[in-house]
């Protein structure tokens, strides 16, 4: 019944997208009750999801300009 923090974070991520099973949710909730760090991870995950959903709902599309893409590509190649 006890799960590792690594497994808890995986289930937390699945739960965020509605892909976690009922049993996974039970195991996750027990783990979150016992583990403070994973509880913090779960809270932060929920905040990020809300921010993303709010941004997505605004139909704003943000992307790099062609000039910025080329500059980024040059910088990455210089670091390799």
| 29-68 per-position pLDDT tens digit | 999 999 999 999 999 988 888 877 776 665 556 677 888 8
| More confident: 20 or 60 | 20
Flag whether pLDDT at 6 surpasses 90.
Answer: yes
What is the residue whose two structure tokens read 């019944």? 1
pLDDT at 69: 84
Instruction: Write the burial class of residue 48 (CB in 10 Å: 0-12 exposed, 13-18 middle, 19+ buried).
Output: exposed
The least confident of 6-10, 19-23, 35-39, 73-77 is: 73-77
Helix runs in 1-80, H state only: 5-16, 22-34, 36-57, 66-79
pLDDT at 27: 96
């Amino acid at each position: 019944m006890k799960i590792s923090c690594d497994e808890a974070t995986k289930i937390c991520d699945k739960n965020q997208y509605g892909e976690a099973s009922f049993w996974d949710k039970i195991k996750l909730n027990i783990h979150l009750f016992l583990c403070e760090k994973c509880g913090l991870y779960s809270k932060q995950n929920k905040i990020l999801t809300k921010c993303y959903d709010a941004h997505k709902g605004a139909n704003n599309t943000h992307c790099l300009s062609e000039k910025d893409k080329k500059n980024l590509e040059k910088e990455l190649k210089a670091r390799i």
